[in-house]
Amino acid sequence: MITLHKLGHGTECFSLNPDLIVSIEATPDTVITLATTSKVLVAERPEEVAEAVRSWRAAVIASALRPEAPTLAPGSRAGRTVAGATPQAAHANA
């Protein structure tokens, strides 16, 4: 999500899913047209909105490419067997 300011609402911020943006126009106010056909007037210039979208997309791609260690449920340990199961049965099911 990118954070923008509605035109005329001072410091009031809102978040917008950039995947919904169809076009950004300066008329002279910045008008963002969404895929839902809704239009939003924002205080940012079109260049600022475009830069926010680029930064957001770069962060999404960087996050997807970052290798991470597998996560385990809280309190779990790797290699742990189910209570009452024998180690042989656990390995047979793996």
Which pLDDT score is estimated for 90? 46
- 55-84: average pLDDT: 73
**What pLDDT is attached to residue 78?**
55
Q: What pTM was estimated for this model as a whole?
A: 0.68
53-67: per-residue pLDDT in tens?
A: 999 999 999 999 988
pLDDT digits (tens, 9 = 90+) for 12-52: 899 999 999 999 999 999 999 999 999 999 999 999 999 99
8 Å CB contact between 18 and 53: yes
How do the domains of the chain map onto residue ranges?
2-64
